[in-house]
Amino acid sequence: MGEAVVAVTREDQEMLADAARSWVRDRAPVSALRKLRNQRPELGYDPDLYAEIVSMGWTGMIVPEAYSGHDFGFQGMGLLAEELGRNLTPAPLIASAVTAASALLLGGTDAQKSRWLPRLVDGSSIGALALEEAARHDPAAVALTASRSGDGWLLDGWKRPVEFGMAADLFVVAARTNGGPGDTAGVSLFLCDASAEGVERHPLTQIDSRAAAAVRFQRVAVGPEQLLGAVDQGFGLLDQVLDRTRAVLAAEMLGSLQEAFERTVDYLKIRKQFGRHIGSFQALQHRAADLLGEIELVRSAVYSALAALDSGDDDVALRVSAAKVLAGRTFGHVAREMIQMHGGIGMTDEHDAGLYLKRAHIADMTAGNIAFHRERFGKLLGV
């Protein structure tokens, strides 16, 4: 893999973050998520908002110019995800423009890249990773089989949840071509049209209102031109694709938890009980101060993981797992405190606190939870 040379100045990044912040504030308030939830569209996002995201160029952040992208790097992508996270904006940006795009960039042939990347960038296609099967995230445990058939393969099995799987027209499917669940050797990645014969999808209604899919593959034929990377050698590619996904997801979580924290601190300044602002009580002040410290650690870990992706550091995996652990723990902590410090009002459906708690849970479960990444961090350190 060749690392893109990212020549992006701090000023460029600040302009980008400012633009994203204004757009999220004006066009994608939390009420947009609420509206989406109440209308329950199967897609799990608002296509009009995604079209605006596409028109601002955000889908081309990590894609080289040769494939219609802007090559802005992961730190730029992270800034966007952070802003989108603030208002819990559901969009297939990470699924399509980070995860699927990275699978193509890192493992695709010229033909595969030329065919799909410009479409992911211009929004005419949406990609999604079909990886999860069992209850617990474990990329080596892939069981869905790809059995030899002529010069191609037949895919058989279930994938769930596939994030934005109802919206996607392109699946990147992790399949077992050799060995058994638990073996890192014998995993292969395939590109598969969502409309291919034998693909059947069912919506999963999630607590965060981002509809995922359960996808069934029944004797779905894939040809050699649909294989991503080398056969049986897909695990390393998958691991890298996942790390890019996790780093940007952690940035999104950082934005969400920052917003949840700020809203909570604001509430402490206006809510009065016993004739005084509850934010004047030391018990609450100290919990808020401790949370701020936790958040500083998350921010550092997330920015460090994104920077490592841009510079091609060899400890990317270590940094990404550390960031996902801290983001997962602190998002959960902030979300629980958001409800507790709001008291009864925080328990109502009308208040946004519950939306942050629900998203915190799903974001932690996605692409490996705290326990998964702590375990991985330990293995990488050799303890």
| Interface ranges with other proteins (CB under 8 A) | 10, 265, 268-269, 276-277, 279-280, 282, 284-286, 288-290, 292-293, 296-301, 303-304, 322, 325-326, 371, 374, 377-379, 381-383
Closer Cβ to other proteins, 200 or 315, answer by number: 315
Q: Minimum Å distance from CB 289 to other proteins?
A: 4
**Tokens of residue 221, six digits:** 């034929």
Contact residues for 97 (Cβ-Cβ < 8 A; gap 6+): 58, 59, 60, 61, 62, 63, 77, 120, 121
Q: Minimum Å distance from CB 266 to other proteins?
A: 10
d(CA 144, CA 216): 10
DSSP letter string, 82-107: HHHHHTT---TIIIIIIIIHHHHHHH
Closer Cβ to other proteins, 14 or 65, answer by number: 14
Closer Cβ to other proteins, 159 or 246, answer by number: 246
Q: Minimum Å distance from CB 301 to other proteins?
A: 4
Closer Cβ to other proteins, 96 or 321, answer by number: 321
Sign of torsion, CA 260 265 269 273? positive
Rg for the chain (alpha carbons), in Å?
Answer: 21
**Tokens of residue 87, six digits:** 């208002």
Pairing type for strands 152-163 and 145-149 reads antiparallel
Q: Minimum Å distance from CB 373 to other proteins?
A: 9
Q: Minimum Å distance from CB 86 to other proteins?
A: 15
Q: Minimum Å distance from CB 286 to other proteins?
A: 4
Closer Cβ to other proteins, 196 or 370, answer by number: 370
Residue of 26, 224, 20 lying closest to 109 (CA atoms): 224
Closer Cβ to other proteins, 5 or 383, answer by number: 383
